Amino acid sequence: MDEELRAWVRSARAIAVLSGAGMSAESGVPTFRDALTGLWARFDPQQLATEAAFRRQPQLVWDWYAERRAAIDNVQANAGHLAIADFQRRHPGRLTVITQNVDGLHQRAGSAGVLALHGNIAQDRWLDAPRACCQADAIAPGRPPHCPVCGNLRRPAVVWFGEMLPEAELAAAQAAAEACDLMLVVGTSGEVYPAAGLAAVAREAGARVLIVNPQASALDRVATHCLRATAASALPLLLGDD
């Protein structure tokens, strides 16, 4: 590991980590567009991961996500996730995690305050604005579950195509990007906006931007330095104490 890069970490007052699908792929989570088995091999995500598709075929979309959830349940956080969480424990308040991933692996590794811009696949929420009868402790089972009174459906708490990112998380991520003096961009192709724009926000605010990715990405152009390595191999060395 380049000692200059480790020195960047040691001297940084505030660090922001922006993680993408490549980081989860190291844990065995197939990327969203990878061909899988079952329903995920048969259907195009851009055709089913929409509100319109869920309203049209709620059971199909629910089962489609159930397969994804089951696959994620069988993987573990990798050394990169653990290194980030360990740094947060050793240096409270210095590192903010911003992720495009919905698998919850940062949280499972022990990271606190994760800004999950695209939601969390392990969680559900109401499809329509909940009425007084929509109570979390009185949900009727089914595929999908629903309110036994009004029939309001539960849906995966992820951001579907055509939906806006959660306002609070996006605002907090933008604030972290503006306030950091070092941003680590880990395992993201840099093609999905507005999340990908956070690297430019950090750089324009005066931060160093360190790309950690074995492949070239669309964000290399805003990088201070590109580290051609995987998260699991690089982050324990980069974030570890001397």
Q: Alpha-carbon distance 239 to 242, whole Å?
A: 9
Catalytic-residue membership of 118: yes
Q: Which of 186, 205, 14 is nearest to 91 (CA)?
A: 14
User: What one-character DSSP code corresponds to residue 216?
Assistant: -
> Could you tell me where the DSSP H helices lie in 92-191?
105-109, 167-179
Q: What's the Cα-to-Cα distance from 179 to each of 10, 163, 222, rounded to whole Å?
A: 17, 27, 17
Q: Alpha-carbon distance 196 to 188, whole Å?
A: 8
Strand order through the sheet with 115-116: 115-116, 95-99, 15-19, 182-186, 208-212, 225-227
Pairing state between β 15-19 and 154-158: unpaired
Name the active-site residue from 81, 106, 118, 146: 118
| CB 58, CB 169: distance < 8 Å | no
As annotated, the active-site residues are 118
